[in-house]
Amino acid sequence: MEEKQLSGILNGAVPGEPVKKDENSRRGNWGNQIEFVLTSVGYAVGLGNVWRFPYLCYRNGGGAFMLPYFIMLVFCGIPLFFLELSFGQFASQGCLGVWKISPMFKGVGYGMMVVSTYIGIYYNVVICIAFYYFFMSMTNLLPWTYCNNPWNTPDCSGVLGSSPRFNASLANATTSLVAAASEVVNHTKRTSPSEEYWKHYVLNISDDIGNFGEVRLPILGCLAVSWFVVFLCLIKGVKSSGKVVYFTATFPYLVLTILFIRGITLDGAINGIKFYLTPQWQKVLDAKVWGDAASQIFYSLGCAWGGLITMASYNKFHNNCFRDSIIISVTNCATSVYAGFVIFSILGFMAHNLNVPVSEVADHGPGLAFVAYPEALTLLPISPLWSLLFFFMLILLGLGTQFCLLETLVTAVVDEIGTDWIIRNKTVVTLSVAVVGFLLGVPLTTQAGIYWLLLMDNYAASFSLVIISCIMCICVMYVYGYRNYFKDVEMMLGFPPPLFFKVCWRFISPLIISFILIFTVIQYKPIKYNNYVYPGWSLAIGFSMALSSVVCIPIYALYKISRSPGATFRERLKFACMADPKWGPALQEHRTGRYAPMASEDTVEARPLKEKEELKDEEKDEEKERKDEISLTIQGSNGSTNTHNNPNPSA
């Protein structure tokens, strides 16, 4: 009782809410609300913000792309983000436990787990490659600067010539730059030193996806380092990761700013930025532009991965997740726009030195991170320093997302089993998941690894995410009932969801998600890597990965219906869709209103007389405790007011 008498704004609780060190002592909570916001920002802001958005922007009309992009953010991104945060926070459960809301749809949670597993496997491989480049940048001369290395081919043409003697200074490199530029124009097969370093040295890429070759031991070692770092940061769950994100979520912005300041001072930088932002308004009428905008918003925010639900489940019950969803979503999109300036200022400088259009040096995905941008960095004085900063930024951006992916899987397992032993030994579960993730990532470190990595990236987490998100909206709004969910949110936050979000959740967001799905199907093209065309059997594996997460939904639904009581299929279906009696706030102190004991007459009549009397006695005791409790009435920052029998209402 003494703990309940303390109130304040500590640890992210709404003012006026009784504060405990950990509101949910069994599962734990964030140390404070800043940790949750930073973790969610780190989760949403990932590699795609740096290596995908700027490319999409210039390909889809430059500044004109911002219009559909921000419209999709407002009507789809923020509402879905708020829906998932409020969903996880209300139930204080991970992506499996929340489906007590409608047990038949628990397969959606399993689908989220499958998606997070796939992404977690290949995402850490990308991080490990960034680790490798980071370590290889600890030298006086970047190894991808010249063409005089054992792995280079006759087609190699370096921006700075073919010998270190040209690297005395940028001024002394003018002659070689002109020569290299003319060679680029006349030599149709020109390959850069950074591209050959990537293909022939780092990956030592094979000629076919089925030809695994040997494991690249340096990459394997970096993969072990990457998983070890992730495990250490999550060794105590959100208690440890919440402290790490103070650095991992903020330092990339410092690096971006340093690279931005350096970039805009270079010759040709303004041309790159113009190329990035010059509006082509006629493209706004192109459906593909809107499809790309919707897809980028959806995938960038991490919707339907299960991570948002998981992170929000460690919030305090009355935390203002509405405010958080807007802050995190806007920060994510602003980071994407900001990263575009950083990328294209350097690419503009590179195009200026090569005397070619910016479009010829612009790239996306691994091609940007490990080929185009590293080559541009070789043109800068003290290039190893800028390379270290760039790859360190990529590592931190990747780790922020990887933390949440691993925590999603661990939380789902721990919540599902739910025994005291598994909760006490959560570290063992974390270690087990990390070891399994490392072993499953080993094939991606072979000579054919890049083929498999891109296959997983294109299929494992593409249209399946859209389907999962759409079904989640339908379940919460139409099976559980939008009126019920709006009341739940009001009970949690102290105010109902704004009208705009009610309309988006019920109508606009599901329509946009359906549009994304249709757009994805119409725009589908078989995956290629440069000039390599994937064979049919590998595409079949890709579709199998995509379907493996979606198929969880009907399989579990049929299983749940078959196990439900009822004489007819309709009765069983109705029972399987009904909310579990345990659905609602996790802590008894928050189970008020319709979640309180004896909240409905039907429930009371179904109980034995003795049990009803016991419940009445418990209710009287709780009422007595509430009267004895001393607390304050404080107007919260989110507009909610929590009154606990304040003897002086006018105070």
CA pair distance 89, 503, nearest whole angstrom: 21
Kindly state whether residue 504 falls inside one of the protein's structural domains.
yes
For 62, the domain range is: 49-148+192-265+278-320+370-550
**Which range (74-78, 501-505, 533-537, 599-603) has the least confidence?**
599-603
Q: Is the pLDDT of residue 182 over 80?
A: no
pLDDT at residue 110 in the model:
97
Is residue 163 pLDDT above 80, yes or no?
Answer: no
Of 177 and 63, the structure prediction assigns the larger pLDDT to: 63
Q: Per residue in 445-479, pLDDT tens?
A: 999 999 999 999 989 888 899 899 999 999 999 99
Q: What average pLDDT does this structure show over 300-306?
A: 93
49 is in an annotated binding site: yes
- pLDDT of 59 > 90? The answer is no
Least confident of 419-433, 534-548, 607-621: 607-621
Q: Which amino acid is at 583?
A: W
Query: Domain for residue 361, yes or no?
Result: no
Whole-number pLDDT of residue 641: 36
pLDDT tens, 191-249? 889 999 999 999 999 999 999 999 999 999 999 999 999 999 999 899 999 999 999 99
* Whether the Cβ atoms of residue 143 and residue 200 lie closer than 8 Å to each other: no
Give strand pairing partners of 7.
Answer: 18
Q: Confirm whether 354 is domain-assigned.
A: no
| Residue 397 is labelled as binding a ligand | yes
DSSP state of 632: -
What is the reported pLDDT for 42? 96
Establish if 567 belongs to a structural domain: no
Answer whether residue 541 is part of any domain: yes
Q: DSSP state, 7? A: B
576 is in an annotated binding site: no
Cα–Cα distance for residue pair 112/304, rounded to 1 Å = 6
Per-residue pLDDT at 100 exceeds 70: yes
Nearest to 479 by CA among 518, 517, 510: 510
Amino acid at site 192: S
Burial bucket for residue 230 (CB in 10 Å: 0-12, 13-18, 19+): buried
44 appears as a binding residue in the annotation = yes
277 labelled ligand-binding: no
**197: three-class secondary structure by DSSP:** helix
Please check whether residue 43 lies inside any domain of the structure: no
233 in any annotated domain:
yes
| Distance from C-alpha of 362 to C-alpha of 435, rounded to nearest angstrom | 37
What angle do helix axes 321-354 and 78-91 make, rounded to 10 degrees?
140
Residue 377 forms part of a structural domain: yes
pLDDT tens, 531-574? 899 999 999 999 999 999 999 999 999 999 999 999 999 999 99
Neighbours of 63 (CB within 10 A): 15
Tell me if 289 is assigned to a ligand binding site.
Answer: no
| Count of domains observed in the chain | 1
What number of CA atoms fall less than 13 Å from residue 591's CA on the CB side?
A: 17
Higher confidence at residue 171 or residue 624? Answer: 624
Contact present, 580 and 103 (Cβ < 8 Å):
yes
Query: Rounded to 5 degrees, what angle do the CA atoms 424, 430, 432 make?
Result: 110
